[in-house]
Amino acid sequence: MKENRIQYEIVSWFRNNYCLKIHNPRCIIFSVPNERSNTNELSRMMATGLLSGVSDLIVILPSRILFIECKNETGKQQHTQIEFMQSITSLGFEYHVVRSLKDFQILINKVNL
């Protein structure tokens, strides 16, 4: 399965289970687009805070923030992603690599929403 499909499934499942207006507190999941189509766009994005290696998703839970990198069964983290992971964990935050919706669901169930 493609990584963007895994990410889509995760976002869809999470938003339909934890991000509804009826939930209190209402959790948040979002992506940080860091793909670009040309050099001008890259320059503009870098000037406004683009950071290579940022995780695919950020999940904000009550008193907890998770940084989620989506990889398929054979996907490997790039060097910039490893550096970002090291920075995040050294600051005391959680960083997880998930390879499927099921991996993500297991993770969310562990953090006891």
What domains can you pick out in the chain, each with its CATH number?
A: 3-110 (3.40.1350.10)
Contact (CB, 8 A) for 67 and 94: yes
pTM: 0.90
Is residue 113's pLDDT more than 70?
no
> pLDDT tens across 24-66, in order?
899 999 998 776 667 777 777 777 777 889 999 999 999 999 9
> pLDDT tens across 61-111, in order?
999 999 999 999 999 999 999 999 999 999 999 999 999 999 999 999 998
